[in-house]
Chains A and B, each alone.
Chain A
Amino acid sequence: MSSDIIERVDRRAFLTIAGSGGIAGLSGCVGFGGGEESSDGGSDGDGPDTIVFGQPGALSGSFDFLQPGVSQAADAAVRHINEAGGLLGAELELVRRDTAVDPQEARTVTTQLVENDDAAAIVGLFSSEINPLWDFLQDLQIPVVTPWPGSTFLDTRGGDKGTPDDVSDDEWVWRTVVGDTVHTGGSAIYALEEGYETLGIINGNTEGERSYVDGFLSVYEENGGTVAEQVEVELGSSSYQSALSRLFNADFDAFLVSMPQESAITALSDWSDGGYGRQPILSDTLAQQAVIDQVGSDLHGAWVASPGRSGPSYDTFEGVYSEEGDAEINGWTPPSWDAVQVTALAIERAGETSPEAIQSNLGPVSRGEGTTVSSFAEGKEALANGEEITYEGAATPVDFTEHGNAFGSVTISTAEEGGFTETTEVPAEDVREYVSEGEY
């Protein structure tokens, strides 16, 4: 009897210790507590030793396959800035935390980055996170300069409203990637030029996927295209055959797929197995080799419109990026470089790291009439010489509109045996015709 009790006690003690260890381990995994201690960058006269940028990232979740390129670009930009003498003489540090593209997690992570890590600016966040957290981000009053969001929600939200000296009317989100309105517009223009006048649509039921479709349709339908059938599906299903069966009962020329990669591979594999045929048009996140590899040759000829990768300083970016690692460049990689560069230049011009100072300098360093610079190093030198600067980015010229948006060309890539090949480009001016001034 007593040995039994001892055995139970020992087991209980073991479980208690194991449980405590597990909780401690999990705490480490989810990142309670801050990173390395750093100065807050306040204007205390001596200047900070370290300035921190916070990067909420998709280290897990539906979009994690895009994160390596975005992370590598941000890390390359930080290295470039530090090699150029740092930011206001301080070392720039990037603290990255996982949100899994979950809004609640994003709220927690953003708060941790600001409160625990003393981040001066945030250089991340997706549409699916920003839209539901909009009021929270405005109350937080920290500049969010992000390479991710395409949502049309941001078309008329964000930026300094064209009055950089007056932050009272500002909204604290800027994006260095062109919005869905621009590249879906380019995709719609290309579809109509190719003669696809009737469309079927299958899209996921999250904000990002809906926004992509809305952006596409606003241009497509305005210019004579019609939608024969639209089927919205839940993500993560084991089969999309019923949805495809319904979609392909309708008569159309091409079908648009707007889903995250893993669900899209399942759906497109089902499409291939079912022999449904017709021309696939893919959303920008699907321009990945893995999609072709898994779906197979039936996908050859499918095309994707994605934000252009040919900003004025793309070569500068590519040189530094390739030294940092070998992650695949995707449509959000150059904008990630641009987000860090333009935020750093705003701080350098401001001479301090207060949120208001950064916010009021993002416009002037991006759209001014000053000396054109293609990197932080060039910008720092010009600012030191007392010149005004205009940063020309890797993805786009980064001429922030009054709503904090960037505008650029749209690249059309076609799926082939070895991957997606860039086949043509829709110039920014052509797309601009369909996007009203003040509406983006």
Chain B
Amino acid sequence: MGLLQELIFGLVSGSYIAIAAIGFTLIYGIVNMINFAYGEYLTMGAFIGYLAANVLPGPFPVAVVIAMIGGGIVSIVLARGFFSPINHTGPVPMLLTSIGLGIALRNAIRLFGGRSARYFETETLTFRFDAVPDISVGPVDFLGGFFITSEHLIVIGSAMGVFTVVHLLLTRTDVGIAMRAMGDDETLARVRGIDTQLIRDSVWVLAGVLAGLAGVLMAVQTNVSADTGYSHILQILSAAILGGAGSPYGAILGAYVIGLVLAVSTAFLPSSMTGLSSAMAFMILIAVLLVKPSGIAGTEVREA
């Protein structure tokens, strides 16, 4: 199998991360906090989706929609309960609160959700394209036969759908334009008559909806457990920072860079180093930040 196959694997990994990273970076850009509990939002989305798929009749997409709605509700409830009351304290207390909330939520999920991993019952189809010629340069085949599964297509398709909807939301709706205005200058946005609390609430709901979707997609590929989201939070955080913290477009770009680095480094690193593919992704992150501290998309990092 050649580079083309690795690119497909990288696209799939990047898509999982991108959907979640958009929600994460919107919170950072507009609420001005790094939400370390966001991994648990994904986990709760996965659990809600799993419950819906097993309790309610109807096709799997119905469970996904319920997970997204549930994720949005959970996100706004948690924001109202834990973050809105301390909005005025600044990013550091909110960051610390999110770390504590994440630990509490993870343990609560473990306590009430049980310790066993659960699995979605899904059928996967594999589409093979073996007749593609190898175009080799040295030891590397640039093309070559490849396969893609229905799960891969759903993940990539979902990501493309999310990118489109988020783009339209941010550019064509009053709420989206207000979000961007708040991201630039909250005080000025308030002076211009924008209901900043309403916009914050909208961001929390949107981030929760995206977490619900990403959680279900990750759980379909892996499993539903207390660590479903937590095990990916560093990749999500890295994608957001790599792309330019606060920028949804940067987060998408950062997610695909990380996904592709993960796939390609596993394929081409020496045998003794294949377990370090995540480390390679983080090295790319450090290298980019050293050269361009504002991240790939160039959005200025807000003062903490």
Please state if B115 and A242 are interface contacts (CB–CB under 8 Å). Answer: no
Stretch at the interface among B64-72, B163-171, B238-246, B273-281: B273-281
Complex interface residues of chain A between 119 and 162 (CB less than 8 A to chain B): none
Query: Of A67, A231, A261, which is in contact with the most chain B CB atoms at under 10 Å from its CB?
Result: A231
Complex interface residues of chain B between 255 and 304 (CB less than 8 A to chain A): 262-264, 266-267, 271-272, 274-275, 277-278
Known contacts A274-B147, A294-B119; A239 and B267 CB within 8 A of each other: no
Complex CA gap A40/B16 in Å reads 53
Please state if A239 and B128 are interface contacts (CB–CB under 8 Å). Answer: no
Main secondary structure of the interface of B (DSSP, over half): helix
Contact for A60 among B1, B218, B226, B267, CB less than 8 A: B226
Complex CA gap A206/B298 in Å reads 38
Complex CA gap A261/B107 in Å reads 21
Task: Give the size category of B's interface with A.
Answer: 35 or more
Please state if B117 and A242 are interface contacts (CB–CB under 8 Å). Answer: no
Contact for A238 among B10, B147, B232, B264, CB less than 8 A: B232
B227-250 CB mask vs A (1 if < 8 Å, else 0) is: 100011000000000000000000
Complex interface residues of chain A between 230 and 281 (CB less than 8 A to chain B): 230-234, 236, 238-239, 241-243, 245-246, 248-249, 261-262, 265-266, 269, 273-275
Please state if A205 and B221 are interface contacts (CB–CB under 8 Å). Answer: no
Please state if B119 and A266 are interface contacts (CB–CB under 8 Å). Answer: no
Complex interface residues of chain A between 15 and 43 (CB less than 8 A to chain B): 15, 22, 26, 29
Instruction: List A contacts of B117 (CB < 8 A).
Output: 65, 261-262, 265, 290
The chain A residue sitting closest to B223, CB to CB, is A262
Contact for B277 among A64, A234, A265, A273, CB less than 8 A: A234
B151 within 8 Å of A by Cβ?
Answer: yes
Known contacts A26-B104, A26-B107, A246-B266; A262 and B222 CB within 8 A of each other: yes
Q: How far is the CB of A244 from chain B (nearest CB, A)?
A: 9
Known contacts A15-B85, A242-B267; A266 and B222 CB within 8 A of each other: yes
Instruction: List B contacts of A245 (CB < 8 A).
Output: 1, 5-6, 9, 267
A327 within 8 Å of B by Cβ?
Answer: no
Contact for B274 among A12, A60, A231, CB less than 8 A: A231
Known contacts A11-B85, A233-B275, A273-B126; A266 and B6 CB within 8 A of each other: no
Please state if B147 and A29 are interface contacts (CB–CB under 8 Å). Answer: no
Please state if B124 and A242 are interface contacts (CB–CB under 8 Å). Answer: no
Instruction: List B contacts of A22 (CB < 8 A).
Output: 104
Q: How far is the CB of A105 from chain B (nearest CB, A)?
A: 13
Please state if A243 and B266 are interface contacts (CB–CB under 8 Å). Answer: yes
The chain A residue sitting closest to B226, CB to CB, is A60
B32 within 8 Å of A by Cβ?
Answer: no
Instruction: List B contacts of A239 (CB < 8 A).
Output: 9, 12-13, 221
Please state if A232 and B222 are interface contacts (CB–CB under 8 Å). Answer: no
Complex interface residues of chain A between 194 and 243 (CB less than 8 A to chain B): 205, 229-234, 236, 238-239, 241-243
Instruction: List B contacts of A241 (CB < 8 A).
Output: 9, 12, 263
Please state if A242 and B104 are interface contacts (CB–CB under 8 Å). Answer: no
Instruction: List A contacts of B10 (CB < 8 A).
Output: 242
B131 within 8 Å of A by Cβ?
Answer: no
Q: How far is the CB of B131 from chain A (nearest CB, A)?
A: 16
Instruction: List A contacts of B221 (CB < 8 A).
Output: 238-239, 266
Q: How far is the CB of A70 from chain B (nearest CB, A)?
A: 13
Main secondary structure of the interface of A (DSSP, over half): helix
B111 within 8 Å of A by Cβ?
Answer: yes
Complex CA gap A198/B16 in Å reads 36
Please state if B271 and A229 are interface contacts (CB–CB under 8 Å). Answer: yes
B190 within 8 Å of A by Cβ?
Answer: no
Please state if A238 and B13 are interface contacts (CB–CB under 8 Å). Answer: yes
Complex CA gap A242/B115 in Å reads 29
The chain A residue sitting closest to B262, CB to CB, is A242
Please state if A273 and B151 are interface contacts (CB–CB under 8 Å). Answer: yes
A59 within 8 Å of B by Cβ?
Answer: yes
A96-136 CB mask vs B (1 if < 8 Å, else 0) is: 00000000000000000000000000000000000000000
B54 within 8 Å of A by Cβ?
Answer: no
Q: How far is the CB of B132 from chain A (nearest CB, A)?
A: 15
B35 within 8 Å of A by Cβ?
Answer: no
B75 within 8 Å of A by Cβ?
Answer: no
B187 within 8 Å of A by Cβ?
Answer: no
B43 within 8 Å of A by Cβ?
Answer: no
With A205-B275, A234-B275, A265-B119 known, 16 other A-B pairs at CB within 8 A are A29-B111, A231-B271, A232-B272, A236-B231, A241-B9, A242-B264, A242-B267, A245-B1, A245-B6, A245-B267, A248-B1, A249-B1, A262-B117, A266-B222, A269-B124, A273-B151
Residues of B within 8 A of A (CB): 1, 5-6, 9-10, 12-13, 16, 85, 103-104, 107, 110-111, 115-117, 119, 124, 126, 128, 147, 149, 151, 218, 221-223, 225-227, 231-232, 262-264, 266-267, 271-272, 274-275, 277-278
16 residue pairs from A and B, CB less than 8 Å apart: A236-B222, A236-B227, A238-B232, A241-B263, A242-B262, A242-B263, A242-B264, A261-B117, A262-B117, A262-B225, A265-B117, A265-B119, A266-B223, A269-B124, A273-B126, A275-B147
The 7 closest A-B CB pairs, nearest first, are: A205-B275, A232-B275, A242-B266, A236-B231, A242-B263, A64-B115, A241-B9
